Amino acid sequence: MTCELDGTRVKDIYDAAYFAPMIFKLQKKKEGPEYAKQRMIFEKQFKESEGFDVDWDSFDYIFSVVNFHWQPYLDDKLTNDELLKLLIRTAIKEHDAEDDKKLELIDYVGANIVPCKGLMYYITFRAKDLSSTDPEPRLYQAKVHKFCYDIYVKMVREKLKQSASINNMN
């Protein structure tokens, strides 16, 4: 089964269930005091985290920034998982070359997407630095711009505020 919901292609029942929270949010009118209140909270979270950490479950609306997992198809040749791995690998490669590091990806934690000329990805991932004397897993953040087939790494850094339970985060 394939159908369209507000311009979002939903290809099967799994997608419909997976994207149900987003579909519900798309149906809400973007006006009134509740929308304004949530928009202010969203903008504060986005600004304070520099685009990386938004508590999506606390909002009933969709704003101009969206969660990576809400997008069913982001590339015409790669799956979303393949695209995300490509973006992270590209960011790590550039980071390692610039900072004389050797990061090894452990897993992906989260990502937000901002539409621009292409898409800007705010990605959080877990990696360990094999060139360090303390190769414990740490959270890293990468800001990566993709336009057509071009990928531009804008920034890679260790996450500013590390969680005490980093190895247990999902």
Q: Report the distance separating Cα 69 and Cα 79, nearest Å.
A: 12
CA-nearest of 143, 96, 141 to 118 is 143
Tell which residue, 99, 91, 80, has the closest CA to residue 125. Answer: 91
pLDDT of residue 15 exceeding 70: no
The DSSP element (H or E) to which 124 belongs, if any, is strand 118-129
Is residue 66 scored above 80 in pLDDT? no
Instruction: Round the average pLDDT of the chain to a whole number and report it.
Output: 79
Confidence of residue 145 (pLDDT cuts 50, 70, 90): very high
In the chain, where the domains are located: 3-63, 80-168
Per-residue pLDDT at 14 exceeds 50? no
Q: Which two tokens stand for residue 47?
A: 């600004």
CATH topology of domain 80-168: Nuclear Transport Factor 2; Chain: A, (3.10.450)
In the DSSP assignment, the letter for residue 164 is T
Give this prediction's pTM.
Answer: 0.74
Mean pLDDT calculated for residue range 103-110: 93
